[in-house]
Amino acid sequence: MIDHEGPTPLYVQVADAIAARIDAGELPPNRPIPSENQLVQEYGVARGTARKAIQLLRERGLVITVVGRGTYVAATNDGPTATR
Amino acid sequence: MIDHEGPTPLYVQVADAIAARIDAGELPPNRPIPSENQLVQEYGVARGTARKAIQLLRERGLVITVVGRGTYVAATNDGPTATR
DNA sequence: GTGCATTTGTGCGTATGTATA
DNA sequence: ATATACATACGCACAAATGCA
């Protein structure tokens, strides 16, 4: 899943992996993506790497982060106003 | 009690210290261990360090965490005198 | 019911040290 | 030298679940 030896930076790989899960519908709009700690567990990377990956997704407009709650899949027409 | 300068990570030292207290019967099964904030006070570490120590104990199966309530000593056998 | 206090969950930012490419 | 990556550690703020008055 994640190639620790390849030329592509880990945080890019993690970001792409999450993007793929979003694209596949596994992570639907307005739903939270795994927390930083969960990403650390799932992908076997350091927290800094997970954070960089999320930051990348944020810059791509794929996710929205809410402090104290988590990071959510961006809705095409709506904000992060779900998850109850 | 906790060596802030030694080679052993603080969260490991804290986890071991709590495990010892469990083993000594000071923290009996089904009873709560000190809260994260209390551990911060008692051991003079950051909350993140206390959380990591608890996470370690959770992975060892020594404790169980309940959101909004606290972390409890696991009830599964393994008391100080639980020969069964 | 409503509000408060407690406790855990999550994220932000930063820092040091080590190691590799 | 710079970028990447891991591990550890600190402090802070906000959010959510729980329990109690």
Those residues with Cβ within 8 angstroms of residue A73's Cβ, 6 or more apart along the chain or in another chain: A22, A27, A28, A29, A30, A31, A32, A33, A62, A63
Q: What is the pLDDT of residue B79?
A: 44
CA of B27 vs C1' of D19, distance in Å? 22
Number of Cα atoms under 13 Å in the Cβ half of residue A65: 15
Per-residue model confidence as pLDDT tens digits over A41-55? 889 899 989 999 999
- Strand C nucleotides, any atom under 7 Å from protein beta carbons: they are 6-15
The tens digit of pLDDT for each residue in B52-78 reads: 999 999 999 999 999 999 999 998 754
Which residue's alpha carbon is at the shortest distance from the C1' of D17?
Answer: B68
- Length A30 CA → D6 C1' (Å): 32
Q: Is the CB of B46 under 7 A from strand D?
A: yes
- pTM (two decimals): 0.81
Q: Label residue A6 by pLDDT band (50, 70, 90).
A: confident
- Provide the 3-class DSSP secondary structure of residue A32: strand
**What is the rounded distance in angstroms from the CA atom of residue B28 to the CA atom of residue B18?**
12
